[in-house]
Structure 1
Amino acid sequence: MTTLISRPLHVMLLDDHEFILHGICLTLSAHSDIRVLGSYTHTQPLFAALSRETVDVVVMDYCLRPGELDGLNLLRGLRLRCPQARILVISSLYTPSTVSLALRCGASGFVGKELDAEVLPMAIRKVASGQVYVHPAMAERLADNDVEVEDLVDSVPPMGAGLPRIKPSVLTMREHEVLRCCLQGQSVTDIAEKFSRSVKTISAQKQSAFRKLGLRNNNELFNSRSQFEGWQ
């Protein structure tokens, strides 16, 4: 559903590099219909500001410095603290798996940092209106990976809704088995012994599943375990 906003769009920014924030602010300052209410390098000041201000769009980097919430956990935190805001992810980690997972988990758009700067204000306007933004070139890459943008659009939760669960349908049966065992606390060696496969095979299946789900390590898997529907 399209949302009509007569005033300038209220935006907050989160990136752990001041230089990037300065560039984004400079780009957006040329657009009178977009107003940056604040830019932050840490999550906690952003959360505090969101508790005080009405925001239409949060523009967040997907990967922050160690010790900060990032990726799926940051999406979850923003959805819980500011469910009325749309979330637009910007990242140099611009792969079909990361884009599709971010959109399935509550983001309304994804912009790669290598794209032209003028893509950002266009993406902000689109997600603020209640639509989903994916660059046409990325939409083609998603289609090559059997992911349709229309399916991602249907999965984005409406404003005020909770965070949806991640469904493992993008995984092969064996990748699903491996991650299910990982979530139960089993090591790669344990899983290899259980299924009479080599450690190398199990490790390759685990890493393939991580790539498809946009996960980088075991910590992200366990922190996101409540999002994996029916995996236990």
Structure 2
Amino acid sequence: MIDTTDPGTRIRLLLVDDHQLVRDGLRARLGDIEQIDIVGEAANGQQALAAAQSLLPDLALVDIGLPDINGIELTSALAECCPALRVLILSMYDSQGYVMSAMRAGARGYVLKDAPSAEIIAAIRAVAAGGVYFSSALTAALATQPDDATALTEREREVLILVAQGDSNKRIAQKLDVSVRTVETHRLNLRRKLGIETAAGLASYALKRGWIRG
């Protein structure tokens, strides 16, 4: 987590978009902003994975429409290889399906490309600080989504929270006084009910509902 209230703290940012013009525009919009250092760029998913591992940015600003793997698949891959890296989606797509898929993959925020610069900057700072951020144009639509949390049992919710906090299956079993196999069953049920495959995705899900703190 980055303390964005400290003016001396720098946010190391990786830009991921397949259009050079877009990346140039982002550099122009963000390059002079206090606290933000653009440390690298990538035009596709493979370049992004390599850059994330070599440059160790704090945050990746990721487009969905990449030529090799899409931004949602990339988000999942980044969560696996670089768990400390936070992902903020910057996309032209305002579909609820894209937004929910991105968050399930582990993204901490979603902002539209036509958002004002001030909103993109606010999103970067919020996500870098451990929060979540949705473009203001998406907030109303997301508020109308049915809450699939109501489909979870109390024990599944407990397991979800512990997974989101970084506990292993063995540690969760010890805390809940159940077998590791039982924990594995609960995690399978969570994947089936929520469609979330990664621990980062579960963390985003729990953060959105206020079950854990970032």
Amino acid at match of 1:109: G
Q: Does 1:128 pair with 2:124?
A: no
- In the alignment, residue 44 of structure 1 is paired with which amino acid? Q
Query: What displacement does 1:169 show?
Result: 4.6
Which residue of the partner structure matches residue 26 of structure 1? 28
Unaligned segments of structure 2, at least 5 residues: 149-159, 169-186, 199-214
Take 1:47 and 1:28, find their aligned partners in 2: how far apart are those partners?
A: 22
Amino acid at match of 1:4: D
**Following TM superposition, by how much is the alpha carbon of 1:121 offset from its aligned partner in structure 2, in angstroms?**
1.2
- Report the CA distance between 1:7 and its aligned residue: 2.5
Of 31, 52, 55, the match for 2:54? 52
Asked if 1:111 is matched to 2:111, the reply is yes
Partner of 2:19: 17
Asked if structure 1 preserves the Cα contact closer than 8 Å seen for 2:61 and 2:89, the reply is: yes
CA drift at 1:80: 1.4
Query: Which one has the bigger helix percentage?
Result: 2
Q: Is the 8 A contact 2:90 2:110 kept in 1?
A: yes
How many residues in Structure 1 have an aligned counterpart in Structure 2?
164
Separation in 2, partners of 1:110, 1:141? 13
Q: Aligned equivalents of 1:53 and 1:114: distance in 2?
A: 28
Q: Conserved in 2, the CA contact under 8 Å of 1:15 and 1:61?
A: yes
- Gaps (5+ residues) in structure 1? 149-153, 171-212, 214-223, 228-232
Larger Cα Rg: Structure 1 or Structure 2?
A: 1
RMSD (Å) for aligned C-alpha atoms? 3.1
Partner of 2:210: none
One of 8, 23, 43 as aligned partner of 1:41 = 43
Aligned residues of 1:72 and 1:105 also touching (Cα < 8 A): yes
Q: Distance in 2 between matches of 1:102 and 1:157?
A: 16
Instruction: Give the fraction of aligned pairs with identical amino acids, expressed as a percent.
Output: 26
**CA distance, structure 2, for counterparts of residue 20 and residue 102 of structure 1:** 20
The 10-residue stretch of structure 1 (133-142 or 25-34) with the greater mean CA deviation from structure 2: 133-142
- CA contact under 8 A between 2:62 and 2:71: conserved in structure 1? no
- Contact residue 8 and residue 33 of structure 1 kept, 8 A: yes
Query: What is the Cα deviation at residue 93 of structure 1?
Result: 1.5
Q: How does 1:188-227 map to 2 (within 5 A)?
A: none
State the shift of 1:157 in Å.
4.9
TM-score by length of structure 1 reads 0.61
Q: Does the 8 Å CA contact 1:99/1:110 hold for their aligned counterparts? A: yes
